Amino acid sequence: MTAAVKTKVYGATDPALTYTITSGALQGSDAFTGSLTRGAGEAVGTHAINQGTLALSSNYTLTYVGANLTVTTAPLTVTSVDASKLFGGTDPAFTYTRSALTNSDTDSVFSGSLARTAGESVGTTTINIGTLSAGSNYAVTFVPGVFTINVNPASTVESIATSTNPDMTVSGTITNASQTSGHGVGLTVVVDIPADITVTGTSTWDGTFTLPTVTTNAFIVGTAGTVITSIEAIEIGAGDTPLSLDKAVKLTFAGKAGTLVGWSQAGSFHSITNTCDSATAPTLGADADCKIDVGNDLIIWTKHFSIFISYKEVSDHIGSTGGGGGGGGGIVSGAGSVGYQNTPSVSTSGSTGGGAVLGAKTYNFTKNLSLGMSGNDVTELQKLLTAQGFYKGPITGYFGKLTLVAVKAFQKAHNIAQVGSVGPLTRAALNAN
């Protein structure tokens, strides 16, 4: 007699063990007694099918040919749970869900852990099976997860020095930094920060800075006789608090090759005109910066943090270049209500006579004036406020942010509500001067 080959999936019930007579024949009503058995165990592999108690009477010589019961792996689906972290943070523990185990198994059959594709840049990567195993009794089908590294809105600088000396600067070192990005309408900026960079600020700095944020809180001074257009501004740092870096940081303005660029802080604008001597590792002194076009992108390398602005200039065809009281110009295209300002042509032979001499002639203000307006009234307003020490900017004929600040200072000095626009009360005070 020969035992039949059998198979089953791990954890399933054993199939019936059967046999066939492969030589000879039973006589009359003779029959077998007993049954076949198999070797003990439920693990995946082969288990011998034995003769067990199977027998015939002493009238037969029984020859038994054995076979095997093969236990195959049970299917198991493991699905990674998506996870995320902020840029610069520590990876969370990766978790998963699973389909049902069998044979009364518990999660103790698992060993190892999930892993993810290497990298610390902002974006997404894959959570893979890593070293996770359910043992040899299961055939695992793994469903990968997505791991997202999000922009950190405020990266805290580590190991900030402290001092009781109010004149001492505060500094700290970022040990886990590589890249972040900022997104705005029509604007993508990627910031590459080298690891182990030291950031230094004044004694009032709290050790945190913003990475990077699209902003409208910027101030631009353009070339005389031009109009500023296509303004895009990104703020990185600590507002008006200057921050110095011991290593150069790379800012990539996507698709902005060929545009002008500068930076502003505390109401002061600085055009970046220095061309980098390398697109990947430029030579920069302390607090210096440079620019270079790479393909369609504008690259800025900087050793300071502030507001960085890309923009264009076009000729101001309607600005005044001669008489007419020094008005004209100052038109900002595409800026909306943003506090940007350019420097138009300034007349030196205006209708007031001797226009180059600030505040040399009394002017009678008859109109209300506010942010965004331009013309001779604004020019005369700036002259008067300059003569009295309230206005610190160029005479542009455009009512921009600097003019608004000066008007507020004038109003404060004359006990007028500090609204920043010129109304009847402010006009009266101006005309009295």
pLDDT tens-place string over residues 203-260: 777 777 776 677 766 667 767 766 777 777 888 888 888 888 888 988 888 888 999 9
The last residue of a domain, from among 54, 72, 90:
72
pLDDT at 14: 95
What is the b/e burial string over 194-223, where b = at least 16 CB atoms within 10 angstroms of the residue's CB?
A: eeebebbbeeebebbbbbbbbbeebbbbbe
Q: In angstroms, how far is CA 119 from the centroid of its own chain?
A: 14
Which residue range(s) make up the domain with 354? 346-433
pLDDT at 127: 97
Tens digit of each residue's pLDDT (9 = 90 or more) over 336-373: 223 333 332 222 222 222 222 222 336 788 888 888 78
Same domain as 141, residue 63: no
The per-residue pLDDT for 129 is: 96
Residue range 123-130: mean pLDDT, rounded: 93
In whole angstroms, give the CA distance from residue 300 to residue 275: 9
Q: Last residue of some domain: 102, 118, 150?
A: 150
Q: Is residue 360 included in any domain, yes or no?
A: yes
The answer on 49 and 17 residing in a single domain is yes
Q: Over the stretch 14-45, which tens digit does the pLDDT of each residue have?
A: 999 999 999 999 999 999 999 999 999 999 99
Could you give the number of structural domains in the chain?
A: 4
Residues 93 and 130 grouped into a single domain:
yes
**pLDDT the model gives residue 362:** 60
Same domain as 165, residue 297:
yes
Q: Which of 96-100, 342-346, 372-376, 417-421 shows the lowest per-residue confidence on average (mean pLDDT)?
A: 342-346
| 110 belongs to a structural domain | yes
CA 292/CA 111 separation, integer angstroms: 51
- Average pLDDT (379-395) is 87
| β partners of residue 8 | 71
> Is 146 in the same domain as 160?
no
pLDDT band, residue 162 (cuts 50/70/90) = very low
Strands 243-253, 154-156: pairing is: unpaired
Report whether pLDDT(327) > 80: no
Give mean pLDDT, residues 79-92.
88
